[in-house]
A = this chain, B = another copy of it.
Amino acid sequence: MAVEVVLLDFWASMFGMRVRIALAEKGIKYEYREEDLRNKSDLLLQMNPVHKKIPVLIHNGKPICESLIIVQYIDEVWNDKSPLLPSDPYKRAQARFWADFIDKKVYDTGRKLWSTKGEEHEAAKKEFLEILKTLEGELGEKPYFGGETFGFADVAFVTFSSWFYALETFGEFSMEAEHPKIFAWAKRCMQKESVAKTLPDQQKVYEFVLGMRKRLLGE
């Protein structure tokens, strides 16, 4: 049976990257379609009428939206290799909790690092470092958030590592100096082909963020 998998995405989206990594982990062939976020395709608007956002996975013509929901779907359908979620329900709940924490905290606060100034920016810097401290605490001495193997929470967070240079620059901190465990974990993940081949170059992302900041703050 010909399996048709299409991904509507945007190259710099850490949410889209999660799906790309999951697809690569499972060895799934798919068609990648780059969206212009300022001129969204009819297909995107048709497949995700509720949020009108990428990523959208289209599997045999049927859409699945929201990156963490897509990753869980991929894990459940292509369940023959590279399990991303643990089999134990309690560990699964913990994995979901941390992926949800990343969704709730990292993006929004990270965004404030490059899109705000003055007091708001100072507050965001402080908050972001607290978030990294919390994640480092959760990682502990484990090689991955998932434990011995790369898993759901790793997929959820590792895509932000392509934004590290941008976040460090605007956040005025050094990941390596201040959060060495996260830095080491990100490097460990980059040893995996699925991650290395998916994540864009940090400098390229930085230039993209610079462009967004200029448009937003009019600099």
Contact = CB atoms under 8 A, between A and B. Distances in A.
Interface stretch (A9-17, A61-69, A109-117): A61-69
Given A62-B90, A90-B62, A97 B77 contact: no
Interface in A29-46: none
Question: Which interface class (under 10, 10 to 19, 20 to 34, 35 or more) fits A?
Answer: 20 to 34
A50 B100 contact: no
A89 interface: yes
Contact of A89 (B65, B73, B89, B96): B73
A93 interface: yes
Contacts of A90: 59, 62, 64, 73
Copies of this chain, tallied across the complex: 2
B93 A134 contact: no
Say what secondary structure dominates the interface of chain A.
helix
A215 B65 CA distance: 39
A92 B73 contact: yes
A70 interface: yes
A76 interface: yes
A183 interface: no
A90 B69 CA distance: 10
A72 interface: yes
A69 B100 contact: yes
Nearest 6 CB-CB pairs, A to B? A76-B89, A73-B93, A69-B96, A64-B93, A77-B89, A69-B93
Interface of A: 50, 59, 62, 64-66, 69-70, 72-73, 76-77, 89-90, 92-93, 96-97, 100-101, 134
Nearest to A49: B134
Contact of A101 (B50, B92, B100): B50
Nearest to A89: B76
A173 B72 CA distance: 38
Given A62-B90, A90-B62, A72 B101 contact: no
16 contacts: A50-B101, A50-B134, A64-B90, A66-B96, A66-B100, A69-B93, A72-B92, A72-B93, A72-B96, A73-B89, A73-B90, A73-B92, A73-B93, A76-B89, A76-B92, A77-B89
